[in-house]
Amino acid sequence: MKRVGIWLDKIKAHIVTFHDSKESFITILSNVENVHVHGGSGRRLIGGPQYGVQDRKYLEREKHQLKKYFKTIISEIKDVDEIVIFGPAETGEKFYKELTEKHKDLATKIIDVVKTDSMTKRQAKAWVKVFFKTKGCRFL
């Protein structure tokens, strides 16, 4: 049985795979721009928009960058039996939503989506190992 844990945020994804008592680990970088949208122009315009167009352009670009990032992750996990998604913020939930909408075959393999703090590679490996051990994994 091939089990995968995916820790992800907007910057990177750590993919921990356990298969036949073997462990593998890869990191995928997202290339999502880390730009904070600033509202307003500094002066008050009564009744007029304040950078609304720029906000939409940024958010649309970010959405497309996230989809490309998710496709890269999906290409690494196509032949798995069980998946757990974990990490800070809402990127894990967005990834889960992408899987349920466009990759139903993988979505059925998701055991859980868990919010966790930021983790090092070593912590992510240990977290996945403990998660699957408590879920009844016999080879860990």
pLDDT of res. 12? 94
pLDDT of res. 117? 92
- For the chain, the structural domain boundaries read 2-134
Superfamily of structural domain 2-134:
eRF1 domain 2 (3.30.420.60)
pLDDT of res. 138? 46
Q: Strands, E, within 9-65: which ranges? A: 12-19, 22-29
Neighbour count for residue 119 (Cβ, 10 Å): 17
Give the SS3 label for residue 26.
strand
pLDDT of res. 48? 56
d(CA 63, CA 60) in angstroms, rounded, equals: 5
DSSP-assigned beta bridge partners for residue 72 = none
> What is the mean pLDDT of each successive set of 10 residues along the chain, which is 140 residues long?
94 94 94 67 55 74 93 94 94 95 95 93 93 68
Give the SS3 label for residue 39.
coil
Give the SS3 label for residue 98.
helix
Task: Pick the closest to residue 74 from 101, 103, 97 (CA basis).
Answer: 103
Contacts of 33 (CB under 8 A, 6+ apart): 58, 61, 62, 65
